[in-house]
Chain A
Amino acid sequence: MKNRMDSIAAISTAVGNSGISVIRISGPDSFVVAEGIFKGKGSFSSFKSHTILYGKKIDPDNGSVIDEVLITKMAAPKTYTREDVVEINCHGGYVTASKILELLYRQGIRPAEAGEFTKRAFMNGRIDLAQAEAVMDLISSRTEKSSKIALSQLEGKLSVEVNRLRQGLVDILAEIEVNLDYPEYDFEEITAEKCSVRLEDIKEDLKILIESFSFGKILREGMEVAIIGKPNAGKSSLLNRLSRKNRAIVTDIPGTTRDILEEYVNIHGLPIKLIDTAGLRQTDDRVEKIGVEKALEVIDSSDLIHLILDAKSGFEKEDKDILEKVGQYSDKTLFVVNKTDATDPEKINEIRNKIPEFLEISVLEDSGINALECEIYKFVNKSRMDTDNLVLVTNARHKMLLEEALEGIDAAKSAIDKGMTLDIISMDIKSAADKLGEITGHMVSEEVILNIFQRFCVGK
C-alpha cells in the first residue's frame, strides 16, 4: 500500500478534445511543488487560499514555459480531499496536460490511482462510507466496461510484451538464483558479461515500449497534423477554417504567424490536433527565425504533414526548399494546393510538374475542404491499421513503471560493471522485474523458484 501521506496528481477532466483540462494535485507537497513550477505575479506561497491565480507553468529544470495556466490554491481542510489541493487549468488537450503531469511526477508527486481522490476524501472524513463505496463501485464498473472496448486489445498486447520482457528478467534471475541457492551443483555459472548482454537486449525493447507512449497517445488523443508551407500560402486560414474559429491572425503580410498555434478539431468524430507553423523561409528576423526552427521540430514530431502550396504563386524556390526539408517524411505528407479560386492553369501545371498528386482547395471559396477532411480521416484510419501490430503504452502509470524498470536494469548493469557480487546484481534485476510485474500483476519471487525447478536439476 502506498503511503497515505504522499501527494498525488491526475487529470481530472475527461480525456478528449475539451477546451480546458484540469489537473488536480492533493497532499502535503502540493503547495511546495506548485510553487516550484508556477510563475506569476508574486510567489505562489503569498497567495491566499481559495483564490485563482494567473501565471505560467515552467519547467524548473530549464525554466522553459509550458503553458499559460489558471491555478487554484486551496488549503486544507476545506477541500475535496481535506488535504492541500492545487488545481491547474491549462489549455485544452491531453498533450499539454500530460506534459504538466509528467513534470509533477518528476517533482515527486505520484500518479493518483483510480478513485484515489475520493478515497482520500473518505479517509479524511469528508464523505461517508456509503458515498465512498458508491464512487468505488462506479470506478470498478467503469474499469470493467472499458476493458471490453477497443483499447483492451492494445492493453492485452502490452501485457504480452511486458510479460515477455519480464520473463527475460525472470530467466536471468533463475540462473543467478540457482547458483546462489544451490552453490554445490555443477551448473554453468552465469557470467556477469552474459548477464549484461541479455540485460542490454531487454533494455532496448523496454526503451521502444517507453518511446511508444507518445505514439500511443494518437489512438487516444487523435493525431497531430502540422500545417506547413511557405509564408502566406494560407496555412492560418486553413487552421481557422478547419477549427471554425478565428484563432490565428490572418493577414496578407507574409510571416504573420511567428509562433506555433495549436487547435483541436473534430473531424468525422476523431480528435485531431492541428498545428499551424510559421511560414518556412530564410529570414533575418530573430523572432521569425525561432518560429521557423520550431516549425521544423513540429514537422519531425507530427503524425501528418499538410504541405500547403499556393496556386497563385505556383512552384517557387521556397517551395522547393520546403520540399527538400520534408523529403524524408514523404509517407506522412499530404500536398494541398490552396487558392484554387484564383486559377491560373499554368501555375497549377507548374506545381503538377513537381508534385504529381495533390488536393485542390480554396479556403476563400470553401471548396475542397470536405475532401481534405476525408483525406485526414482516411489517414488516421490507415495509421490505426498500421498500429494493429504495434505494442503501445497509453497509460502514464504504465509508462512510469516501465521507466522504473529501466532504472533497475541500469542499476544492475552498473553493479555488474563495478564488479559487485551476484546477490546485489540480482536485487536490481528483481526490482526491475517487480516493476514490470506491477503492470501485469505477477509475483516475481515465486516464478523464479518455479523456473529454477523447471530448468535445473537440483536436490539431494
Chain B
Amino acid sequence: MGITFEEYDVIVVGAGHAGCEAALAAARMGAKTAVFTINMDSIANMPCNPNIGGTAKGHLVREIDALGGEMGRCADKTLIQSRTLNTTKGPAVYSLRAQIDRRSYQREMKHTLELQENLHLRQEEITDLLTENNKIVGVKTHLGIIYPCKAVILTTGTFLKGRIIIGDVSYSSGPDGLFPADRLSESLKGLGIELLRFKTGTPARINRRSIDFSVMTEQPGDNPIVPFSFEHETIDREQVSCYLTYTTEKTHKIIRENLHRSPMYSGTIEGIGPRYCPSFEDKVVRFADKERHQVFVEPMGLDTEEVYLQGFSTSMPVDVQIEMVRSLPGLENAQIMRYAYAIEYDCINPLILKPSLEFKKIDGLVSAGQINGSSGYEEAAAQGLIAGINAVLKLHNKEPLILDRSQAYIGVLIDDLVTKGTKEPYRMMTSRAEYRLHLRQDNADARLTPIGYKLGLISEERYQKFLKKQQAIEKEIERIRKKNITPSIEVNNFLERCGSAKIKSGVKLSDLLKRPEITYESLREIDPDRPELPASVTEEVAISIKYEGYILKQMQQIEQFKKMEKSLIPEDIDYNKISGLRLEARQKLSEQRPVSLGQASRISGVSPADISVLVIYLNAITRRSNENDE
C-alpha cells in the first residue's frame, strides 16, 4: 500500500479560498488538521479577478468575518482600493468591494495558516480517498503516502482534471499555469460519485507600461475606506485607481470574423459555462445590438505592472486575442503578459450533499467551493468555513451548523446548491435572497457573531466588543425614538433646506429620520445632544429606523418561513410508503432526502399538495411516537 504517516482529524484537499477557511476553522475548533496543496506558493491564489467583494459577495465576506472566518481580515490588510457600490440604491444592496494586492493576500493568508495551532501545511497531491464501509478513513498522496483521518474536506477548485483551452490549443493544466489534479477524479468515481464538467475563463493580463490611461475614465477608491472585518474600525491607506475603457466596432468585427475559430462555437469546449460570466465572444453574439461593452482595467498589485481586463474574458486563439486587445482605446500597443483562457474542470452535482455540505452517501466526506458547482472566491470561502465547522461538529457528534435562508447569504448559497442544484457555475446575487432587507452587510455581526462565538471561532474579547456595539445601537435607537422635536423656526428652516415638509406640531426625531430626504447625519444640526458614535453604529441605527416598517414586514415573512424550516423530516423516512405523494415527488424526495419541510418545498417537482400530504404523514408519526411514550 505505501507508507502510513501522521494521523489527522480533518484533512483539507486544496488550499484555495475554500480550503484556507475550512482548514483554519477546523484547526481553531481544536481538530488536528492538515491542508494539502499542489503548490505551496499558490495558497489563496486569485487566478481571475484581483478583487474581493461586490454585490452579494461583499455580504458573504462580512458574514464569513462575523462567524470568525479569515477572508475579511486578510482583504482589509491587503486591499489597495475600496469602494461601496449601490450607495444610492438602498441599504439592502450596499456592497463593499476592494481591489486586492494579489501576492500580499496570498502571503498574508499563507502566514496565517502557518501560525495556526493544530494546522499542518503539506505540498502533496491527493490521489485517493480511502474508505471503509462508505466511511472516510484516510487519503493517499501522489508520493504513495497514506494519511489516516476521520474527515476529508474537498476544496479542489478548478484543479480536478483541469484542461485549459485557448483557441484550437488545449492542454491538461490547473489554473494560472499550475499542475492539475488528474488522479483524484478516478478515486471519486470509484466511490460512486458522479462528476460533471464545468467551464470558466479569465481575461488577458497586460503590462501597465504599454497602456495609455489618458483616454480612459479613472475610477478612484472611496474615502474613507470601509473595512470588511468587524474587527477593524478604520483603514488608513493610499489607494490606486482602476480605469474604464470601451470596446469598439472594430473589436466586434474581429470577433465576428473569427467566430469559427472560437472553441465555444466550434464545439471544442464541452463544459458548461456561466451565463453571468460570458466570454466576450458570447457577449458579441448574444447582444449583437449593443454597440460597445465596458472593459475595466484593474491593477493586480502594488509591486507588479500586471493589470487585469475585467469584461474581456475569451478563449479565442492568441493571434485573435492580440488583435482584440489592441482594438481597445488606450490599449493599441498593449503587451500581453498572460493570454486569456477557458478552463474546464470536474465538479460534483451538489444535490448529493446534505445542507451541512457532507456527502449523503459517504460518511466523513465534505466538500466546498467550485467542486460544489459554485464560482467566485467569496462563495468558495463561505462554503469552506461551513465545511470546516461541520466536519469538526460531526467529530464531536454535534448537530451541524445549517444557516437558513433568512439568516445569511451563506444560507441562501448552500441551500440553493444542495436543494436546487446548479446547471452552471453558481454566482451569488442579491436577487437570490428573499429576505434581502434583513441580510444586510451592516448587520452581519448581529446575525452571526453569537453563532461564531458559540463555536469558539470568535474570541471573548471580540464578543464583548460586539455586545457593546449592539448595546450602543439599541441605546441610540431608543434615544431617537423618544426625542421630541418641536416646530421651532430653527427646525423648520432646517427642514426647508432639506426640501422636506415643515412640521406644525411636535414630532419624534425618529419620525423625521423616516423621511427619505433626511439622513441621520443631516439631523445632527437639530439634535445637539447626540452622542459621538462610530460609523458602524450610526449606520445600523439609521437603517433600523428609516426602514422600520419594511424591516418589520420582512421579519413577518421570515417568521412564516421559519415554521417550515423547523419542521424536520426524519432521516429514515420511506417516501414510497406515503401513498398520497405523486410519483415524481416520491422520486425526487427519495433521491434528495430533504432535512426539513421547508427544504422539501423548494425541490423542483414537489408540489404544495405533496407537501400537505407530507405534513399529514409526519404528524401521524409524531403522534404515534408520542402515544408510545405515554
A residues at B contact (CB < 8 Å): 1, 3, 113, 115, 119, 122-123, 125, 128-129, 132-133, 136-137, 140, 173, 177, 179-186, 418-424, 427, 441, 445-446, 448-449, 452-453, 457-460
Contacts and interface: CB of A to CB of B under 8 A. Distances in A.
30 contacts: A1-B597, A1-B611, A3-B560, A3-B563, A123-B619, A128-B620, A129-B616, A133-B580, A136-B613, A137-B580, A177-B430, A180-B431, A181-B93, A182-B55, A183-B86, A184-B296, A420-B90, A420-B516, A423-B93, A424-B550, A427-B437, A441-B607, A441-B608, A446-B420, A449-B432, A452-B431, A453-B275, A459-B275, A460-B48, A460-B310
Contacts of B92: 423-424, 427
A457 B283 contact: yes
Given A424-B547, A427-B554, A448 B431 contact: yes
A459 B294 contact: no
Interface stretch (B5-13, B34-42, B285-293, B442-450): B285-293
A180 B55 contact: yes
B215 interface: no
B429 A457 contact: no
A122 B612 contact: no
Contacts of B430: 177, 180-181, 423
A418 B613 contact: no
Contacts of A3: 560, 563
Contacts of B56: 181
Contacts of A119: 612, 615-616
Nearest to B619: A123
B533 interface: no
A427 B550 contact: yes
Nearest to A411: B553
B276 interface: yes
Nearest to A438: B608
B93 A180 contact: yes
Interface string B232-250: 0000000000000000000
Contact of B89 (A123, A136, A183, A453): A183
B55 A183 contact: yes
B90 A113 contact: no
Contacts of B310: 460
B256 interface: no
B434 interface: yes
A137 B578 CA distance: 12
A115 B547 CA distance: 40
Contacts of B516: 418-421
Interface in B250-288: 274-278, 283, 286-287
B623 interface: yes
B49 interface: yes
Contact of B612 (A125, A136, A423): A136
B311 interface: yes
A333 to B, nearest CB: 45
B517 A419 contact: yes
Interface in B421-448: 429-432, 434, 436-437
Interface in B301-336: 310-311, 313
A119 B614 CA distance: 11
A300 to B, nearest CB: 39
Interface in B46-80: 48-49, 55-56
Report whether over half of chain A's contact residues are helix, strand or loop; otherwise say mixed. Answer: helix
Q: Which of the listed residues B89, B287, B311, B547 has the most CB atoms from chain A within 10 Å of its own CB?
A: B89
A113 B90 CA distance: 38
A180 B86 contact: yes
Nearest to A177: B431
A140 B608 CA distance: 12
A295 B102 CA distance: 82
Contacts of A457: 278, 283, 286-287, 290, 293
A3 B561 CA distance: 10
Nearest to A119: B616
Contacts of A133: 579-580, 616
A445 B623 CA distance: 36
Interface string B94-136: 0100000000000000000000000000000000000000000
Contacts of B615: 1, 119, 123
B567 A422 contact: no
Contact of B90 (A418, A423, A459): A423
B19 interface: no
B559 to A, nearest CB: 9
Nearest to A458: B276
Contacts of B432: 445, 449
Given A123-B615, A136-B612, A460-B310, 10 more contacts: A1-B567, A3-B563, A181-B55, A181-B93, A185-B294, A186-B294, A427-B437, A441-B608, A457-B286, A459-B274
A457 B623 CA distance: 54
Nearest to B278: A459
B179 interface: no
B623 A125 contact: yes
A423 B435 CA distance: 11
Contact of A140 (B85, B86, B437, B580): B580
A123 B609 contact: no
A113 B612 CA distance: 10
Interface string B548-581: 0010011000001001100100000000000110
Contacts of A446: 420
B397 interface: no
Contacts of B553: 427
B380 to A, nearest CB: 16
Closest 10 pairs (CB-CB, A-B): A421-B90, A423-B90, A423-B92, A453-B275, A419-B516, A459-B277, A457-B287, A177-B431, A129-B620, A183-B85
Contact of B616 (A122, A419, A423): A122
Nearest to B582: A140
Contacts of B287: 457
Contacts of A185: 294
Given A180-B430, A424-B547, A140 B609 contact: yes
A191 B88 CA distance: 13
Contacts of B91: 421, 423
B620 A421 contact: no
A391 B208 CA distance: 63
Nearest to A116: B612
Q: Which of the listed residues A122, A419, A421 has the most CB atoms from chain B within 10 Å of its own CB?
A: A421
B616 A181 contact: no
B203 interface: yes
A136 B55 contact: no
Contacts of A180: 55, 86, 89-90, 93, 430-431
A249 to B, nearest CB: 50
A460 B617 contact: no
Contacts of A132: 616, 620
Given A137-B579, A422-B89, A460-B310, A122 B436 contact: no
Nearest to B289: A457
A351 to B, nearest CB: 59
Contact of A184 (B85, B290, B420, B612): B85
B42 to A, nearest CB: 21
Contacts of A140: 580, 609
A165 B597 CA distance: 30
A126 to B, nearest CB: 11
A181 to B, nearest CB: 5
A1 B550 contact: no
Contact of B276 (A1, A173, A418, A459): A459
A182 B580 CA distance: 45
A338 to B, nearest CB: 53
Contacts of B547: 424
Contacts of A115: 612
